[in-house]
Amino acid sequence: MILTGVAGASLLAGLGVPLSRAFAQGEPLKLGFIGPLSGAQEIFGAPMLVGAQIAADQINAAGGVNGRKIEIVARDDKAAGPEAVKQAQGLVGEGVHLLFGAVQTAVALAIGPLLQPSNAILISCAAIADSLTHENFNPHYFRISDNSYMRYRALARVMAEKHPEISKWTGIFPDAAYGHQSWDGFVDGLKEYYSSLAKKDVEIIEPVLTKFGATDFKPQLTTLMRSPAEGLFNNTNGADAVTLIAQGANFGLSRKFKAIADGANEFNVPKALGKRMIPNFWTAMHWYYGGYQDTEMGKKLYEDYVAKTGDKLPIGYVEQGHAAVYAYANAIRAAGSAETAAVLKALEGMSFDTAKGRRTFRREDHQAILDVNFITFDVKDTEQGWEVSDFVRIPGADVIEPPTPGKEIQFRFK
């Protein structure tokens, strides 16, 4: 793909490279992708890698970075910390010190201790646990996605705005650290935003806990159907969420609850359920492509993704990989070097354009400040069985927490 006209010129100008410049004779700029490319989590890692490759293609077609091409070196971490460590060590051994990916929090935490001794940087692209930029802060780590505090408080704000009639909420999520942390953030947001926006107090009903990989949610669904709650927070993910919602449809879940606030499943649940999809299901998105068609980078990423894959419903993980590559490209351009120390310094406090709008890496803790996206669905009598019916974009600056690197996050209302 060769970019021409305004699109090509603006993408190139954003990297500070004249259109007339030919590629330098130096080696390509190698960026190491570490993510799940096999197994159940491949549905997140593979699209992220596609987004990264699209970014590299766009940048290279426009002249590269300081005249050098970008090359993505991909490794499969199998969504496991030990395997991620092995792959990160292998990349560093090959001279690749600028890493990105790390879909799971456990993977980001596992790689973290290697970064400074290996003179490497990691930009994680989906791991949202607050600890990564708080008590486990690492100066060689950057997060390009929203975090748990931002996402779940923003989701609560959307519920207060869209469903002010709901006064009682419960939840269902895995009995694991990330599940409890997401619930804490959501409850904190419910208490703030129902009071300030809906002008009412909200009652929190004891949540229902699950295990990873469950195939039968009937006991949990029975408990939920007996709950006095009117709203349901869900943070089961992937196949677990599909199973829960499919079984829940038979229980009358959508009749019981006026709204379901989902933490992370994006298009995976409606794609899997098709005509069995339920209404009033809100989900967080790392990036909703339809909300950024009025921006050049958002429109271009969507067009290139469809051309490359034939899929017209990209999940937000595509944009995460795309943004990470642009982050490194902008930092290398600003630093005039691909050396780790120079790139790290350039990333700190850096603001740059992405397909999701303007992002800034907060200098204190390396957390990105960016939009938080949510969509909901209408059930339709079509072959697909559903369509996106609403989109909400919450500015990250409105919901981000104060930086406290090295210290645990403090909720305000929980």
Instruction: Specify whether the CB–CB gap between 375 and 387 falls below 8 A.
Output: no
Give pLDDT, residue 246. Answer: 95
- Tokens 């017209």 map to which residue? 312
Rg of the chain over Cα atoms, rounded to whole angstroms, equals 21
Which residues of the chain register pLDDT less than 70? Answer: 1-25, 414
pLDDT at 238: 84
119-129 pLDDT, tens per residue? Answer: 999 999 999 99
Half-sphere exposure for 282 (CA within 13 Å, toward CB): 26
* Those residues with Cβ within 8 angstroms of residue 244's Cβ, 6 or more apart along the chain or in another chain: 172, 210, 214, 217, 220, 221, 234, 236
For position 225, what pLDDT does the model report? 97
Residues 6+ apart with CB under 8 A from 303: none
Q: Partners of 354 in the beta sheet?
A: 357
What's the whole-model pTM score? Answer: 0.91
Q: How far apart are CA 220 and CA 358, in angstroms?
A: 41
| pLDDT value of position 169 | 98
Domains of the chain as residue ranges with CATH: 5-146+290-369 (3.40.50.2300), 149-285+371-399 (3.40.50.2300)
Residue 167 in tokens: 């006064």
Q: Which pLDDT belongs to residue 414? A: 63
